Amino acid sequence: MKIVPGLPSFVTGASSGIGRAIALELGARRARVALVSRRADALERVADEVREAGGEPLVIPADVTDEAAIRGAVERAAASFGSLRLVIPNAGIGRYGLSWEHAPSEIESLIRINLLGVIFTVRAVLPHLLDAAPAHIAAVTSSAGLIPHVRGSAYCASKAGVNQYLAAVRLEVLDRGVGVSWICPGAVDTPFFEGANLDPDTDLPLLARLFVRRLQPEGVAHAVIRAVEHNRREVVVPAMMRFFAWTRRMTPALADWINRKLP
């Protein structure tokens, strides 16, 4: 689907990092962008930047784990824009720890935000996208949804859950004009790791630290836009992470062995 001027779009987690970069990229293409996350003040700052870039922002503070709130946000954006044609479920957090040490409260909020938050968003937007097709959903998930790593069990589960949820949704809606993509980046330079209990410079698997370059949020935003424009299914960035994901799919036992020996 082409990103045309005025395209009515909806980005969750738009107040920071990758979501902000996607909103600015859509702004530069003169899209109308609903900016959704919990912090209204941070969203207002991004809205100013989107306006400066040439887009038309609409700030809607909402928590993706609150089903009624996210449904309300979707209805407000659709009413204000007249329709919705592009949705980017991106809101997410990282919390890490060995599986038996990880606090249940942390695991619960991780799953609620990263998995249920996407499901609530997609469920709420689909009637609008089906009405306005051609339309597209492009979620930001993670390479961790494809390649497991030590101390990431709950995070990996949340992202693998989203990938599989969207793969099933795609089967339902593709022939009705709604594309579905999931973009799986490796580590990205954003505030994501603050308070996550994982330092990407020391705690990620050795091969990832040695061979996979750290992405900038703008690079992920470009990958998201390309996925929408070319109706891609699963996109892994950067290229070396794509190679690791392919290797794991082909030879999972070998990949696990390497992962255990070189943590």
**Residue among 160, 187, 227, 245 that touches ligand NAP (CB under 6 A):** 187
Q: Which is nearer to ligand NAP, 132 or 245 (CB)?
A: 245
**Nearest CA to 25 among 54, 64, 65, 1?**
54
Residue 98 to residue 80: CA distance in whole angstroms: 45
**Residue among 38, 71, 76, 170 that touches ligand NAP (CB under 6 A):** 38
Residue 118 to residue 156: CA distance in whole angstroms: 15
The one-letter amino acid code at 149 reads H
Q: HSE-up of 229 (CA within 13 Å, CB side)?
A: 11
**Residue among 188, 198, 204, 241 that touches ligand NAP (CB under 6 A):** 188
Axis-axis angle for helices 239-250, 252-261 (nearest 10):
120
DSSP 70-95: HHHHHHHHHHHHS---EEE-------
What is the distance, to the nearest Å, from the Cα of residue 70 to the centroid of all Cα atoms in its chain?
16
Size of the site for ligand NAP (CB under 6 A): 29
- Rounded to 10 degrees, the C-alpha dihedral 206/208/212/216 comes to -110
Axis-axis angle for helices 104-111, 153-173 (nearest 10):
20
Q: How far is the CB of 236 from ligand NAP (least distance, A)?
A: 10
In the range 135-154, which residues lie near ligand NAP by CB under 6 A? 140, 142
Q: How far is the CB of 133 from ligand NAP (least distance, A)?
A: 25
Residue 250 to residue 245: CA distance in whole angstroms: 9
Q: Which is nearer to ligand NAP, 2 or 105 (CB)?
A: 105
**Residue among 5, 39, 68, 172 that touches ligand NAP (CB under 6 A):** 39
Q: Is 121 in the site for ligand NAP (CB under 6 A)?
A: no
Q: Which is nearer to ligand NAP, 14 or 132 (CB)?
A: 14
Q: Which is nearer to ligand NAP, 132 or 198 (CB)?
A: 198
User: Catalytic residue among 10, 155, 182, 244, which?
Assistant: 155
Longest CA span, the chain: 55
Span near ligand NAP by CB under 6 A; candidates 59-67, 78-86, 122-130, 227-235: 59-67
Q: Is 205 in the site for ligand NAP (CB under 6 A)?
A: no
Q: Is 218 in the site for ligand NAP (CB under 6 A)?
A: no
96 catalytic residue (yes or no) = no
Q: Which is nearer to ligand NAP, 130 or 203 (CB)?
A: 203
Q: Is 92 in the site for ligand NAP (CB under 6 A)?
A: yes
Residue 147 to residue 51: CA distance in whole angstroms: 38
> What element of type H or E holds 105?
helix 104-111
Q: Is 31 in the site for ligand NAP (CB under 6 A)?
A: no
The catalytic site residues sit at 155
Site of interaction with ligand NAP (CB under 6 A): 12-13, 15-19, 37-39, 42, 63-65, 90-94, 113, 117, 140, 142, 185, 187-188, 190-192
